[in-house]
Amino acid sequence: MPSSDPAPTLSLTGGPTPQLNAPTVQVALPLPLPQWFDYAPPPGEPPQAGMVGRRLRVPFGSRELVGVVAGIGVVADGGTLRTALDWIDAQPLLGGELWASLQWLARYTHAPLGEVVSTALPAPLRRGEAVPDTHRWGWQLTADGHAQRARLRAGTRPQRLGTLLAEGVVDEDVLDARMEDWRSAARALAKRGVVERIALDHQVPVAQASAGPPPNPEQAAAIAAITRATGFGAYLLDGVTGSGKTEVYLQAIVDCLARGRQALVLVPEIGLTPQTLARFRTRLGIPVHVLHSGLNDNERARVWAAASRGEAQVIVGTRSAIFTPLPNAGLIVVDEEHDGSYKQQDGIRYHARDFALVRAKALDVPVVLGSATPSLESLHNAQAGRYTHLRLKVRAGDARPPRVRVLDVRKRPLRDGLSPEVLQGIAEHLQAGHQVLVFKNRRGYAPVLLCHDCGWTAPCQRCDAPMTVHAGGRRLQCHHCGARQSAPLACPDCGSLALQPQGIGTERLEEHLVDAFADYPVIRIDRGTTSRRDALETQLATLGDRAGILVGTQILAKGHDLPKLTLVVVVGIDEGLFSADFRASEKLAQQLIQVAGRAGRATDPGEVWLQTHHPGHPLLETLVNGGYHAFADAELQQREAAGFPPFAHLALLRAESQQVEHANAMLSAVRGLIPDDAAVERYGPMPAPMPRRAGYQRTQLLLSAPARRPLHGVLDLITPQIHALPQARKVRWSLDVDPTDLY
């Protein structure tokens, strides 16, 4: 990785005497300021290059902050210094490749290095706590516990945990693999003296490693291409749903482990981790460490520390896991690389997939980007020869592609969004003992509460958006700012009682399907039902292999293997066909292909039914007749003609203020900083597509260039000046390089 140029520094006044040409430590602090800060080091140790990457506590105004040494400098003649309070680390916490990669990320996103470091570290390390102990831990019955175990109530979690521990000491990773939510039961039993937690001196295998199925020729070719790599290489594993991409990952990881190296696997959603972890632990037979938002701060810090010491050999995590230290790196995998959740939408706006490529190059290891619907950026890179394109065109085993049927619902009676043909089809599949997925990417009961007499709709008082109806019409919630209120009993404008929920959400579909198919279980999967830890796994386990119905949002479209599922019904795709967002077609195509891929993954054939009022829409015709790649080829041609990514590079400056004049004034001043001869197009200031959100007026300035170099040249020039603008102090502003969402 290229070395970092020293950032501007600021000497803080407050030292007792001037220090002439005194060596200093330059500290990156978690502040929205672009400079580093000069301090005299804590007494007893003169500044030296080996201090870079160490954490220390420093005074900042009336506060104490935890920072990281970013460089060694010299205070200007006559300058005064404050002295850092104390060292936290005896040796650099950040160094080598990870430190260089974080510096690259700060330069690329034009964000303060201190904030980038703060984003990368687990919360306890950000707070200045010591790097945690990474002993393996297990649980066992106490001496009294063996006698008390028989008195535990049958069928309860404590009783099941006691039965597991009767076998002897059980590693925590083994418990993760064998029992859901065992930790709450362990804490309860520990308070009663029944069980105890002990440190393990060795790693207990999770299970006996199992052999996978023999790869088909396409899988074998992909595995060979990845495992014979001797250094960095980017591989786009482009496989239809059900083609066995996970098997390719696993065999590449087995090869990585055989060479004594570490593997990092990124998955887009916390909901994907249970199935992924179970399969990985069964196949690999070693502890698989996880990093996602469902863990508490201390658990995340322990995994981070275990990885930094080389003890964690396989790490599976969501977006932020890309910051995991990998001293013995051998492989990085990004599953569902197209997924929008890899992009951080606030704070430091990084893209985990793109940063994975940067880290893999710095570590000189292969990186595998897998998807059934690759992003247009990745397909473009593969076509340009920057990525090795590995295709898996057939489903693994005996599974066949699902049959797609487009249902024209014009002039057809719809009952809560479902046509008679769909209800009949659902009944037939249930009677055959199969499962059905009803997909609607809109949670809640209905999108709008409408007065049938005067046309009033329930608005959010803080956003330019209507409130969504929840709880069968009893509660209103804004999906943008989170505001909640009870639904009014009468129209606030005209007093009418004719208030009706308009439109369809997952709650309304669930209500109708429960009534229509009372003999079968109906399970709703959306953000409202999967917010708790392990909730998705529990919900899917509730259905098991029984005939039944899943109703859900895009959470169900990603990566889940449901062998009994034979029918997917997509309810209402029309809103995605006419969006103003230039990425809308790509997102809709990916969503349809992904959700369609849940059907017919085992021996039973699958069907996909798409309800629409626009059966002749070009996007649908292209997808049904030519598949995703036909759509992608056509869309790339349109993007190139229009000058949109990946044929252009964007940066979006957003400003928010309670007075729109302040936001516009700030962005107008920024626009004035850009030289007239810069090869960068400027659009704005203009209102954001949603002009008001959470009580703030929102405007934006979009910059576009045909290549990265001129765009970043302008951003390098103006970003320090933006921080100094008087107008910037009156607004909240952000810079998003390579934005995926212009809203």
Confidence (pLDDT) at 10: 44
pLDDT in tens, 244-279: 899 999 999 999 999 999 999 999 876 655 667 778
Confidence (pLDDT) at 78: 53
More confident residue, 681 or 76: 681
Q: Is the dihedral of CA 594, 627, 742, 704 positive or negative?
A: positive
Distinct helix (H) and strand (E) counts, the chain: 21, 31
DSSP 459: B
Residues 30, 115 contacting (CB under 8 angstroms): yes
For residue 206, pLDDT beyond 70:
no
Residues 338, 375 contacting (CB under 8 angstroms): yes
Residues 502, 510 contacting (CB under 8 angstroms): no
Confidence (pLDDT) at 201: 60
More confident residue, 564 or 64: 64
Confidence (pLDDT) at 77: 60
The mean pLDDT of 362-366, rounded to a whole number, is 98
Tokens of 214: 């023999």
Phi, psi of 43 (to 5 degrees): -55, 145
DSSP 199: E
Residues 64, 128 contacting (CB under 8 angstroms): no
Confidence (pLDDT) at 597: 81
pLDDT in tens, 702-723: 999 999 999 999 999 999 999 9
Q: How confident is the model at residue 15 (pLDDT cuts 50, 70, 90)?
A: very low
pLDDT in tens, 641-660: 999 999 999 999 999 999 99
Distance CA 71, CA 81 (A): 16
Mean of the per-residue pLDDT values of the chain: 89
Winning range, highest mean pLDDT, from 43-47, 351-355, 601-605: 351-355
CA-closest candidate to residue 213, choices 251, 179, 160: 251
8-17, 170-179, 441-450: range with lowest mean pLDDT: 8-17
For residue 14, pLDDT beyond 80:
no
